[in-house]
Structure formats: C-alpha cells, structure tokens
Amino acid sequence: MSFRNLWRSSNFLKWASRHLSYNSGGNEFIPFDGLVSARRCEARRSLLVEVAAMGSALDLYQVCSEFGTIRQMFHYKTKATSGPREMILIEFADSLFLEKVLKGAVYPTQNSSIIPVHSPLVWLAASKKSKPTNHTLHSGTADLPVPFTSEEKNNDVELLQNLFHCSDISQQIQTLYDYQKLTELGWRLRFFTCRQIERALSGLFPQASVLPFGSSVNTFGRRNCDLDMILELTDDDEKTDNNRLVFQAKKSRAAANPRITMQRHMEVISDVVDNFIPGCSQVRKILGARVPIIKYYQDFTGIECDLSMTNKSGFYMSEMLYIYGCMDPRVRPLVFTIRCWAKDRHVTSVFAGRWITNFSLTLLVLFYLMRTSPPVIPPLQVLINLAGSSDRRETSGIDCTFLRDLNIVTPSENQDSLETLLRGFFEFFSNFNFKERGFSIVSGNDFVKPEHKALYIQNPLERELNVSRNVTFEELDRLNTEVSNARYLLEGLEPYTGESQSEPWGILHLCNSSAHPIALKAGNISIDWKEFFTRDELSGSVPSKKKSVTVNTTV
C-alpha cells in the first residue's frame, strides 16, 4: 500500500503499530531531542585552546589533565581575521573539570587594553619553567593517552579523483555526500559556538539557551555550512509554582509590540557580542529583516553565525528535516547532490535574495521523494497522524507536532538507485507546472497556487505561508531552464563502461565546480578547473554566469 493511500486509510494506525521495524540503513535511529541534548552536554564539558602547533598536544594534555579526566582531543587549523591559528578542542569527562580549569586560568597581565571576560576559550602560553623538548614539540601526539584527531581542511582534489574513479553515478552521489557531510569536529564546534554565547549571557540571563538549527543540525549541512542559532532568554519549562521566593524582574518596555522588544534586545546582545565575546568578529545587525538576525564570524571555530531571537519553529523545522534524512539512507545523498548542483549553477547563493534557498530546494527534493512510485518517504501528515502525546510541541501558537520516533515507520518499498532518483528528480520538475501549481509536503500533493507568486511551496508548519515567496519570476525561469538542462545532460550521458575515464563524467558534469579549481591529477589525466570557477562568495556580488570548463588531457 502506498504511503498516500495508507494515510487516507482508516486502518492506518493499526497498520503502523504492526510495522515495528525501522531500517535506517543499518544505523540506529537517534531522536533529535536526544542528539541535541547529548551534544549540548558535550559542549558544556569542552574547552577550546589556541596552541602554537599540533605538537603542543601532549604539553596541553599534561596541563589540563591536572584538573580532571580528559576524554578526547581534536586538532584543527582555522583562519581568523588576524591570521591562521592552530586550535585544540578538549572534551573533559565532566563539566566540573572544565569549571576547575577556568577557575585556574589567568588573564594576560602585560596588556592593559584587554577586557577580562569569562569564556571557555583560552590559549596555551609557553612554559616559564623549562623549554619544551623536541619530543613535546614534534611528536607530542603519538604518546597521548586519549583519542586524538587532527582534521585537515577539505581536500577537493581527492574528492574529484574519487568521483572520477567511482563505478557508477549512484556511487558518485554517495561519495559526494560522505565527503562533504559535517564531520564529528564540525558538529562539536557548532554546539561549542552556541555554548559560548549561552555561557557569556548566563550571568544576566540564567535561563538563556542558545540552540542550533538549520543545516548545522538537520544533517543536510556541508562541512563549511553556516550556523543558525536561536537565543531564548526564558525557559518555558522552568517550574516556579511551588516556590514562594520569586525573582524581582523588569517588565519589557515595549511589551505591546513583541517585534520592537526583540529588536531592542538584539541591539544590546549584538553590542555585547561585538565588544566582549572573544573571537566574535565582523558583527553586523540585520534587525529590519523578516527574521531579525545578528551575523558574525567566530574566529576560533571558523564558523559564520546567524543569531536570532524569534520563535522556535525553525528549530522544529530542522527536526522535521532531520527525521526525513533518517528515514531512508538515500535522502541525504540526494539532497546533497541537488544542493551541490544548484550551487554550481548559481540557482542558489550564499546570499539571501530573489532566488530559491537551500531550505526550499530541500523541500523540492522531499516532495519529489513523496511522489515516486512507490514513495521513498511519506507526507508529513502521516507523521502528524502517528504523533503521540510525547510528540506535542508548540511555539508562539504554531503547532509543531509530528512523530519523533521513527521506530514505528516501516522502510519504503521503493528500491530505486540514487542515480534513478537523481534522474527522476530532474524529469519530475522539468514537467512540473510551477506557473500554475504549488505544492505541499504536508499532503504530498500539488494544487492551484493560492497567490500570485512565482513559486509556491507551502510552509509545512505555518501552512498559510509560502516559504519561497522571495523567488522572482525571472529566477523561476532560470531554475526551470537549469532543471531541464540537467535532465538532458543526464539523459545524454554515455552509459558507464567500466573502462578508465578520460574526461569528467556523471555528476562531475552537474557539480564539478563545487570543488576547488586546482588541477586534478586523475591517473595521467590533468584537468584544469581554474577556468571554470567563479565564486560569488568571494566577490560578494550577485552570481554571474560561469565560464565554460576547459579540460586539458595530457596523456
């Protein structure tokens, strides 16, 4: 029975309870709530230390282990505004150990212009007692008694080579995903970045929480994706009923207009972030936007941050995307490849504007996966119907209730390969009548557009809203053209023969400039990608059309 018919069926719940096996491709399903709270606890136990070099790891271990047990250490290099830095993230076994470290840490005495701020970010000064030996400087990681990982930046040449040598397009799609998905360190640094703000504000706002959302947690984020954060100053779950001692507190000055109140609070928070919080640079306030945000760059974690103070619907939206990503092992690789194609063709941009966003594009992919035969994933209404009392969530009057435990959803009967699904996506949308029809991932259906906007994608949580109302008719035309081009490009590909390829093939035709434009040495073939690459991220301008690719084959 298809998911759609199933949902209409009155026996749906009975059917669901019979299917108690959930297959997420061999991986155990971790509920989003559990994942977020485990990562937040990890961040509460973590210290970020600037070091001279990776070789300082043993020295650092010896200094820190005096305060408590260390679980793991991660090394990476980052590009701060003031130059490159080497960092080590330490996870202690208990948050109490971190507190002990911070109590023992000191502020620089020579520099009178520094503002002494309490933060889990420190640097390891050179030892005054003895000069470090060669041993600690050069082979400091070999003798570490805890797991130590050093993460290199993306090696795009390696990715290109791997894509080049895949055996088919499905394998290429999977390889692209495996290579570009957020790493363990990426997850940790994102939660750590949230924790830094939360901690900095905690003296004044003891209930403050900073939660990550968007591509950092919905599992559709690339390694270098930005970090969207929601700051909430009050904790709705905090119980005060039985206590007769109640804090004195000020009333919000502009309580009658919550938006103005939020903007005023964000002005203050933005000044705090800009003036006092270590590593927060390039702070900009964008408070007039539909969703007001504070943008900044965290120098020590190397992450672009967007901090907002609106309702939690973005967080629940991320949870919904996370659940869809867990539901079938093909969802994430497919979304990654299509996001990659869209970036490459400048269908999307890192700048907000009149084009489709990655979020809307992800809904496009989910909708398509609901319309395959048989469907790969069910419409959201199925998950809403299956929700129990523990799944109820509401924020600012928006109902965000849907099934959170995937253990009661049966795997899809659809056996299509990733390649078939990729081709199917472009075919489906090159035939979709965007001019007249909109669609909903709640019902899994399309319908006549209720408003005169180029693109209509129903907001799955606030159903009266269109998440793609920013898209202009001109941009929709470009999207349509690129979708048709991709379809014909894939249709025109020679079937893979298994012989060594001498030219880019498969998804390298769709997503090839997503990797860095350096010469690729694939066996004895040298491909020059330089000509192909124009980065709108660097120029900061509206995306321009790309030059054509130059392939030099030197055999």
Listed as own residue / partner, the contacts of 276-283 with beta carbons closer than 8 Å and 24 or more positions apart are 276/115, 276/117, 276/200, 277/117, 277/119, 277/196, 277/197, 277/200, 278/117, 278/119, 278/121, 279/80, 279/121, 279/196, 280/305, 281/80, 281/81, 282/81
215 binds ligand GTP (CB under 6 A): yes
459 binds ligand GTP (CB under 6 A): yes
Please state the closest distance from residue 399 (CB atom) to ligand GTP, in A.
12
Q: What share of the chain is helix, strand, coil (3-state, %, to 5)?
A: 40, 15, 45
Please state the closest distance from residue 227 (CB atom) to Mg ion, in A.
7
Q: How many CA atoms lie within 13 A of 54 on its CB side?
A: 15
318 binds, among Mg ion, ligand GTP, none (CB under 5 to 8 A by kind): ligand GTP
543 binds ligand GTP (CB under 6 A): no
180 binds ligand GTP (CB under 6 A): no
List CB contacts of 116: < 8 A, sequence separation 6 or more.
107
Using the rule CB under 6 A, which residue among 56, 318, 349, 395 binds ligand GTP? 318
467 binds ligand GTP (CB under 6 A): yes
Name the residue with tokens 């290099």.
77
514 binds, among Mg ion, ligand GTP, none (CB under 5 to 8 A by kind): none
CA angle 476, 505, 535 (to 5 degrees): 50
Residue with nearest beta carbon to ligand GTP: 214
402 binds ligand GTP (CB under 6 A): no
193 binds ligand GTP (CB under 6 A): no
Name the residue type at position 254.
Answer: A
Q: What character string, x for contact with Mg ion (CB under 5 A) and - otherwise, covers 180-219?
A: ----------------------------------xx----
8 Å CB contact between 170 and 490: no
Widest Cα–Cα separation across the chain: 83
Is 362 or 512 the residue whose CB approaches ligand GTP more closely? 362
8 Å CB contact between 223 and 154: yes
Closest CA to 508 of 523, 524, 520: 520
Q: What character string, x for contact with Mg ion (CB under 5 A) and - otherwise, covers 214-253?
A: xx----------x-x-------------------------
Is 292 or 506 the residue whose CB approaches ligand GTP more closely? 292
**CA pair distance 249, 262, nearest whole angstrom:** 17
Can you give 192-243 as a three-state secondary structure string?
HHHHHHHHHHCCCCCCCEEEEEHHHCCCCCECCCCEEEEEECCCCCCCCCCC
Name the residue type at position 386.
Answer: L
319 binds ligand GTP (CB under 6 A): no
314 binds ligand GTP (CB under 6 A): yes
Please state the closest distance from residue 288 (CB atom) to Mg ion, in A.
20
**CA pair distance 552, 484, nearest whole angstrom:** 28
Coil/strand/helix, residue 70: strand
Stretch that binds ligand GTP, among 104-112, 123-131, 160-168, 313-321 (CB under 6 A): 313-321
Using the rule CB under 6 A, which residue among 120, 140, 186, 221 binds ligand GTP? 221
User: Total binding residues for Mg ion by CB under 5 A?
Assistant: 4
349 binds Mg ion (CB under 5 A): no
Cα→Cα distances 389→22, 112, 409, Å: 21, 56, 17
Stretch that binds ligand GTP, among 60-68, 173-181, 222-230, 253-261 (CB under 6 A): 222-230
Please state the closest distance from residue 343 (CB atom) to Mg ion, in A.
13
The full length of the chain comes to 555
Using the rule CB under 6 A, which residue among 185, 201, 377, 461 binds ligand GTP? 461
Using the rule CB under 6 A, which residue among 42, 86, 198, 226 binds ligand GTP? 226
Residue with nearest beta carbon to Mg ion: 214
Binding site for ligand GTP (CB under 6 A): 213-215, 218, 221, 225-226, 228, 313-314, 317-318, 357-359, 459, 461, 467
Binding site for Mg ion (CB under 5 A): 214-215, 226, 228
